[in-house]
Structure 1
Amino acid sequence: MRGLEQILGEHSFFAGFAPEYSALVAGCARNHRFNAGDYLYREGEPADEFFLIRHGKVALEIVAPGRTPMVFSTLGEGEIVGASWLVPPYRWTFDARAVELVRAIGIDAACLRSKCEADHHLGYEMMKRFLPVFVKRLQATQLQILDVYGKR
């Protein structure tokens, strides 16, 4: 049976990560299972964990009052769900919903933030990995906005 440290070490997000950092992150990790329709998190809730998808698909949604939720991205195996844990006030800015059965590893945000504060090299490695996640989500949202408002 593989442990969380080995699973994290094999995850694409942590490719090239130093083994000692994998051990630190694994100390903040636990397994999760979400059934189709379950929310990993909801907008406005505390961003106290982020997820590495091992199996399944997760829809990232923006909800406007009186409207159907708009899916701006669908994530699958090998991808990360949740980056708001890095930015104060540490609140989710959209919903994340399981589209099908999802198995994921959750990383406790407060635990990892404290380890990043104690070891700035670890913090820098995490930021280098999360910055592309932020940019990708921003670009996906931009494309959705163009699609919605660009049609006449």
Structure 2
Amino acid sequence: MARAGVFGALPEGRRETLLAAAREVSFPVGTRIFEEGGHADRFWVLHTGTVALDLHVPGRRPAVIETVGSGELLGWSWLFAPRQWHLGAEATGPVRAWEFDADEVRALCARDPELDHALLVYVAETIGRRLRAARTRLLDLYGPAGSGEPR
């Protein structure tokens, strides 16, 4: 059976390489894991639970863009300068996750081009999916009726 999520995107043996750099963490419901604009120095892969990704909207409550769940990547801003979070994140269910130090993972990637390429492709796909989700959600919330539907 094929693995889903970030670990399923890695070449043979690289899952173990990446997991060797992980530490297990947990977040209770309601925990703000990171804030939009904050320093992005780590990322997570969720074991269990859910995290809402939200976007600051001036004069309104943050708009929830997407919900991240088991096996999914939480945080991609660590990979690209200026390494600031583009969204906020809040635990909406009790979360258990692997936490990765961004500097350590970037150093692993510098030594292992296959791991580097696989992570870059996975992160790029994640960014694309989240941009589409943000566009659709914001059009649903603030655009003319029906503007969030795909053409």
Count of residue pairs brought into register by the alignment: 144
Give 1 or 2: higher helix fraction: 1
1:91-128 Cα deviation digits (max 9, x unpaired): 11111000121111111111000111122222101112
2:87 to 82, 89, 94: 94
Task: Answer whether contact 2:32 2:91 (CA < 8 A) is retained.
Answer: yes
1:17 to 3, 7, 10: 10
1:140 to 126, 133, 136: 133
Q: Which runs of 5+ in 1 are unaligned?
A: 1-8
Aligned CA RMSD, in angstroms, stands at 1.9
Task: Answer whether contact 2:50 2:69 (CA < 8 A) is retained.
Answer: yes
Q: Which runs of 5+ in 2 are unaligned?
A: 146-151
Normalising to structure 1: TM-score of the pair?
0.85
Residue in 1 aligned with 2:63? 70
Q: Distance in 2 between matches of 1:12 and 1:74?
A: 14
SS across alignment from 1:144 = helix
Normalising to structure 2: TM-score of the pair?
0.86
Residue in 1 aligned with 2:148? none
Identity %: 33
1:125 to 113, 118, 127: 118
Mark the CA change 1:92 to 1:28 in structure 2 (over 3 Å): closer, same or farther.
Answer: same
Report deviation, 1:42: 1.1
